[in-house]
Chains A and B, each alone.
Chain A
Amino acid sequence: GAVVSQHPSRVICKSGTSVKIECRSLDFQATTMFWYRQFPKKSLMLMATSNEGSKATYEQGVEKDKFLINHASLTLSTLTVTSAHPEDSSFYICSAASDRYYEQYFGPGTRLTVT
C-alpha cells in the first residue's frame, strides 16, 4: 500500500504558540489530503479536505483561521495550529488519496500537547 509520513510524531508546546505538522505522501502523488482530529477512544473527526493548489475546505465548526492548512505540492500538506490552547491538545492524523485510488492512506499521527 501507499506510504504517508507525518512529522513530528509528538510535540509539546506552550499556550499561545503555533505548531506546524507536516504530512507527506512518499510514493504517490496525493491530489487530496485530509486532516483529522481524534480524541482518546473516539472516532476520527474530519477537520478539512485539501486539494493541491487550492484552498482547503473546512468542516462545519472547524476554525479555518486557527487551523491553517496548506497543500502546496502533490506530496506535502501542512497543518498549522495557531495560538494553541490546552483544548487543542489532541491526536492529529492526516491521510492522502489520489485520482488512482478511492481509499485513503493514513499517516501515523501527531500527538499535540499544549501546556
Chain B
Amino acid sequence: QKEVEQDPGPLSVPEGAIVSLNCTYSNSAFQYFMWYRQYSRKGPELLMYTYSSGNKEDGRFTAQVDKSSKYISLFIRDSQPSDSATYLCAMSDLRTNAGKSTFGDGTTLTVKP
C-alpha cells in the first residue's frame, strides 16, 4: 500500500463548478501538507501548504487537513478552464530532510467551458 493515495481521475467538471480533490495517507508522522498544480509539459507549481490540521484559504482555493482521518482536500471554487491541470498532493515529516516529500500520483482535472 502506498503512503499517499490519490484518485487519478480523470475528473471533468463544467466551468463554475466546485471541485474537490482529495488524498489519504497512512503515515501519522506527516505534519506538513502541500498541493501542487502541474500543467502539461511543465514543472509542478506550489499552490498551497498547510501545517498540521485545519483550513487555509487563498482566493478560490481552500486546503483542508484532517489529521485524525489522515485525509486532506483541496477545494476549487468557481472553477475555470485555466484550472485544467494535474493536481498533486504532497506531505512531509518534519523530522526528515528539509523539503523531502511524499507525493500522490496526481489527479487530472478538466474544466469545460
10 contacts between A and B (CB under 8 A): A31-B98, A43-B88, A43-B106, A51-B97, A95-B99, A98-B99, A102-B32, A102-B99, A103-B101, A108-B42
**A interface residue numbers (CB < 8 A to B):** 1, 4, 6, 31-32, 34, 41-44, 49, 51, 91, 93, 95-99, 101-109, 111
CB contacts (< 8 Å) of A97 on chain B: these are: 98-100
Asked if B83 lies at the interface with its beta carbon under 8 angstroms from chain A, I say no
Band of interface residues on B: 20 to 34
List the 3 closest A-B pairs by CB distance, nearest first.
Answer: A97-B99, A106-B43, A43-B105
Dominant secondary structure of chain B at its interface with chain A: loop
Cβ B41 vs Cβ A102 within 8 A: no
Cβ A111 vs Cβ B98 within 8 A: no
Cβ B99 vs Cβ A104 within 8 A: yes
Cβ B103 vs Cβ A102 within 8 A: no
Cβ B42 vs Cβ A43 within 8 A: no
